[in-house]
Amino acid sequence: MSISPGGFSDPSWRPDSGGGSGRPRLFTLVLLVAVLALAGATAYLFTTLQATQSRLTAANEKLQAHDEQIAKLEDSVLRTSKQAEQNISTLRGEVSSTKGQISQATKQVESQVLSKTEQLTQKLSAEHKAEVAKVGSEVEQLKSATNATETKLGSLTGDVTGVKNDVSQTKNELQKTIAELKSVRGDLGVQSGLVATNGTELAALKRLGERNYFEFDLKKVKQPQKVGNITLRLKGTDTKRNKYTLELIADDKLTEKKDKNLNEPVQFYVAKAKIPYEIVVNQVGKDRIVGYLATPKDQGR
């Protein structure tokens, strides 16, 4: 289809022929919508372009700011690097100086140590000679003392032998004395322990160690006398018949022992004791008796 200057080339097409008068209006309407759409699109593109330009401008400003910061950082790093190089150079100088001082001080110390060592060596050498001489003198003294000690040991050996003989003799005498001692019945009818009649026999009993022994020399006085863990008071003596009478207090209990004989075991019990205490009088004088008290070793037995 071609269009002539005067209108449409197709003579069959006329506004008022065939299709009626509605077609040109529709074409005009479509053309108007297309123009409006194109205008809208152009406006949208323009707005979008302006927004993009604004964003690009902001991005350029940020890039410029970043470039400035990078430039500052590069400058700071450069200055820091220079300062670090200066500090390292200074430290190297100080280290070199310190090494020199240490080397000098070391040489001085070595010199002083060598000097002191030589002095000590000389001193020790002199002292060693003196000490050797002193030790030699002490060795001679020890030899003399050893000879004297050997002489004394020979003498002591003889003394020890004599002591052993004396001990053996004493032991034999003790055994003989104990064998001669007798056990008799006491005034309570209880068989007594061995009875000593004099100081020698009492000493033998003490060495035997079967009982505790407390010696006494009792006079006729008002105040009682403490013997062991009891109390005794002499009331009277009969020298012609070798008899005596006394009072004893044991466990706060007063007991009278009347007309007792010489070397007779006078017996009595105390608390916790299963065997009786014994009083033996070896001497009877005027208003005076001498003897001992024998008590069990373990009163709980």
- The amino acid present at 108, given as its one-letter code, is Q
Question: Distance between CA atoms of 169 and 56, rounded to whole angstroms?
Answer: 137
Residue 252: name the closest of 221, 272, 231 by CA. Answer: 231
In the 8-state DSSP scheme, what is residue 247?
A: E
What is the reported pLDDT for 289? 98
Question: Distance between CA atoms of 36 and 45, rounded to whole angstroms?
Answer: 14
What is the reported pLDDT for 89? 85
Coil, strand, or helix at residue 174? helix
**Sign of the CA dihedral running 59, 61, 64, 70:** negative
pTM of the model: 0.44
What is the reported pLDDT for 18? 47
What is the reported pLDDT for 79? 84
**pLDDT tens digits for the chain (301 residues)?**
444 444 444 444 444 444 455 678 888 988 889 899 988 888 888 898 888 888 889 888 888 888 888 888 888 878 877 887 888 788 788 878 878 887 887 788 778 867 877 787 788 777 767 776 776 787 688 778 878 877 776 676 666 566 555 645 555 565 656 665 777 888 888 988 899 999 999 999 999 999 999 999 999 999 999 999 999 999 999 999 999 999 999 999 999 999 999 999 999 999 988 899 999 999 999 999 999 999 998 765 4
**Sign of the CA dihedral running 177, 179, 180, 182:** positive
Question: Distance between CA atoms of 232 and 217, rounded to whole angstroms?
Answer: 11
Please state the length of the chain. Answer: 301
Question: Distance between CA atoms of 292 and 191, rounded to whole angstroms?
Answer: 18
Q: In this structure, are residues 261 and 276 in contact, taking their beta carbons and an 8 Å threshold? A: no
Residue 242: name the closest of 255, 258, 259 by CA. Answer: 259
Question: Distance between CA atoms of 242 and 197, rounded to whole angstroms?
Answer: 14
What is the reported pLDDT for 178? 64
In the 8-state DSSP scheme, what is residue 275?
A: S
Q: In this structure, are residues 190 and 267 in contact, taking their beta carbons and an 8 Å threshold? A: yes
